[in-house]
Structure 1
Amino acid sequence: MASKSNGPALVAGNSYYLPAMSNAGLFKGYVIDPGSVGYADVGRDDIHTVLITHGHNDHFRRAREFRERGARVIASKEDALLVRNPEVNVRGLFSWARPPKEMITPYFQGDACEVDLYIEDWLDSSIRAIYLPGHTLGEYGFITEDGVLYSADSLYSKELWGKYKLPYSIDPDLCRESIRKIKTLDFDYLVPGHGDPLSREDALKAADFHLSQLDFVDEVVLELLREPVSTESLVTKFCYELDLYKSLNNYWLTLVMLKGHLSSLNHQGRVAYKLENYCMFWFKSK
């Protein structure tokens, strides 16, 4: 995938970011999430470490370029398998069967890369890791000594919600926990995985909006389940309700998102299910 970056932009101190389809971070000898930008885009040859926030290819697709030049690659224990073998993501989306190639989202395709060290076993006092699961099970963010938080896909701005309407995650409850954690962190600027950097004040507003949108999705689902609805019909009704973009990729991503919200609502006792004639039906609990 071609780079969309015009070079590093200063955030604060030694903390930079490279604007791209998926933003990359740059701090001293670290590059964070080189998914849409490569070695040539960074413009320096002192990169000793690649930090990967999570195992989606738009965040690590070009990590191998840096590793081939001597940098070590660090990812979480949970997501390292996805970095080493992107096929796991592809198959997981299709219930572990091999999907037709037309159904594979490009966000889960890319170059596999070996992981040299786990985030959990790494330590640097100038940049620390913050566990922020929900988008994946092993997502982390990184805060530099300059007060810059690289939050990856743990937090979506209002603008991003407006553009995509349903940004991807797998566990809304974990997402909520991570967003609430972000609100307690000591940072001055937040660099998201997608979109422009935010001041702390704007990041806190984005956090509240993200939380409200997760609640909104729950309410839409509950409204659609006043009568029993099959999983497939629920996807259709939900997509029409939010006027989501019609594509194979979006269908699969929406299906995963909906299953996450259905599971959450079921654990809360607000949604129940039944299997009838080999078809799963969901309905609002009485």
Structure 2
Amino acid sequence: MKLQEVFGNTYFVKGGTNTGVYLFENNDALLIDPGLSGLRPKKMLEMFENEKIRLKYIINTHEHEDHYGGCSQLKSSDGDIEIFASEDAKLFIERPDLFSNFILGGRSNKFLIAKLSHRKNESVLIDKTISEGNLNIAGEDFEVISLKGHTPGSVGILTKDRVLFAGDLLIGEETLSKYDFLFLQDVNEYLNSLNTVQLLDFDYLVLAHGKYVLDKHDAIISIRKHREAVHKYLNQIRENLKTPMNIETLLKKIIKENNLTYNYKEYYFFRTSLVSFISYLADLDEIDYELKDSDLLYYTKTK
């Protein structure tokens, strides 16, 4: 494990979830998304000790365990470490049962819990909530950007080196080409967030899940491909709902038409996204529903 320089005082550590690192002049460190608990936080602490770096702050871009899971393990090494997240993210981070209940649509069960968490994590408490705008930490300014859509609490962090950490707004092209049915809780907010980043003044974007750091040009290309992926599925849903059908039948068709692989967790992630897409089209007044033969059927409205 080693620090990968992006620019200036901004670095990242490669992993299943790439972790941002900002080094202050006194060698104190701010982490962005520490990743899961287990071996990774332990190795990170060893690396910091060898480099005489003092971990002082952690920012979580959003409320998914693969981003915040290592927080409690890191904080146990030094109780003075401050952990930050948005207000919405704080709610789900401190109450992870709410996320599993939300995904399932009711009280969660052992099947989903087993897939969502492979480790027995200690609870994570957020010390300070952050919101869009300037964030001053230890005399240095960072910009917090609201990037809702993937989750309600998603934010991006822009360092003074013009390096953006955007959470799961974008995924690596190698992943997007295989799994383009994105996990979205609000399609409209997500599309707005893509527009926000496209207009943002930055030089580099560090993907949370990807092999490469993107420059602004490549980031804009990636934004276009993510936007195209969203519209691809919107069009599929519009076309399929020319014949009224229920959620489960529509989801089955979406999975088959796109050769999507899934397990128990991913099925419900796909279902969550599908509901979000339907809600978006309903807001546009493009679809309606009917109750028929003990079923709830959605259909595309004719113009």
Coarse TM-score class (shorter-chain normalised) = over 0.9
**SS, match of residue 12 in structure 2:** strand
Q: Which residue of 1 aligns with 2:30?
A: 30
Rounded to whole Å, the distance in 2 between the matches of 1:167 and 1:193 is 15
1:40 has 2:43 as partner: yes
Superposition RMSD in Å: 1.9
Aligned partner letter, 2:174? E
2:258 alignment partner, one of 239, 242, 248: 242
Aligned partner letter, 1:266? A
Map 1:94-133 to 2 at 5 A: 94-101=104-111, 104-106=114-116, 110-120=121-131, 123-124=135-136, 125-133=140-148
Deviations 1:61-101, CA, capped at 9 Å, x for gaps:
00112222121110110110111121111111111312232
Moved over 6 A (4+): none
Q: Which residue of 1 aligns with 2:10?
A: 15
**Structure 1 residue 189, shift from structure 2 partner:** 0.4
Aligned partner letter, 2:84? I
Contact 1:84 1:112 in 2 (8 A): yes
Query: How many pairs are equivalent?
Result: 281
Q: Which residue of 1 aligns with 2:81?
A: 71
**Aligned pair in 2 of structure 1 residues 140, 221: CA closer, same or farther (>3 Å)?**
same
**SS, match of residue 78 in structure 1:** helix
Deviations 1:215-259, CA, capped at 9 Å, x for gaps:
111001111111101111111111001110032122101100000
**Aligned pair in 2 of structure 1 residues 242, 129: CA closer, same or farther (>3 Å)?**
same
Unpaired segments ≥5 residues, structure 1: 1-5
Q: What is the TM-score with the length of structure 2 in the denominator?
A: 0.88
1:148 has 2:133 as partner: no
Q: Which has the larger radius of gyration?
A: 2
Deviates more, 1:12-21 or 1:160-169: 160-169
Contact 1:62 1:111 in 2 (8 A): no
1:177 alignment partner, one of 192, 210, 234: 192
Contact 1:165 1:242 in 2 (8 A): no
Rounded to whole Å, the distance in 2 between the matches of 1:107 and 1:203 is 31
Q: Which residue of 1 aligns with 2:26?
A: none
**Aligned pair in 2 of structure 1 residues 48, 89: CA closer, same or farther (>3 Å)?**
same
Q: Percent identical across equivalent pairs?
A: 24
Rounded to whole Å, the distance in 2 between the matches of 1:128 and 1:96 is 36
Unpaired segments ≥5 residues, structure 2: 24-28
**Structure 1 residue 107, shift from structure 2 partner:** 6.2
Contact 1:158 1:210 in 2 (8 A): no
Contact 2:147 2:169 in 1 (8 A): yes
**Structure 1 residue 102, shift from structure 2 partner:** 5.0
Rounded to whole Å, the distance in 2 between the matches of 1:136 and 1:233 is 25
Rounded to whole Å, the distance in 2 between the matches of 1:156 and 1:268 is 27
Rounded to whole Å, the distance in 2 between the matches of 1:77 and 1:148 is 23
Rounded to whole Å, the distance in 1 between the matches of 2:205 and 2:117 is 23
Q: Which residue of 2 aligns with 1:223?
A: 239
Contact 1:54 1:139 in 2 (8 A): yes
Contact 1:32 1:51 in 2 (8 A): yes
**Aligned pair in 2 of structure 1 residues 66, 100: CA closer, same or farther (>3 Å)?**
closer
**SS, match of residue 145 in structure 1:** coil
Q: What is the TM-score with the length of structure 1 in the denominator?
A: 0.93
Q: Which residue of 2 aligns with 1:3?
A: none
Q: Which residue of 2 aligns with 1:158?
A: 173
Contact 2:247 2:297 in 1 (8 A): yes
1:93 has 2:81 as partner: no
1:202 has 2:218 as partner: yes
Rounded to whole Å, the distance in 2 between the matches of 1:268 and 1:140 is 26
1:57 has 2:57 as partner: no
Deviations 1:97-141, CA, capped at 9 Å, x for gaps:
122325653369754300000013982143221110001011101
Rounded to whole Å, the distance in 2 between the matches of 1:174 and 1:106 is 24
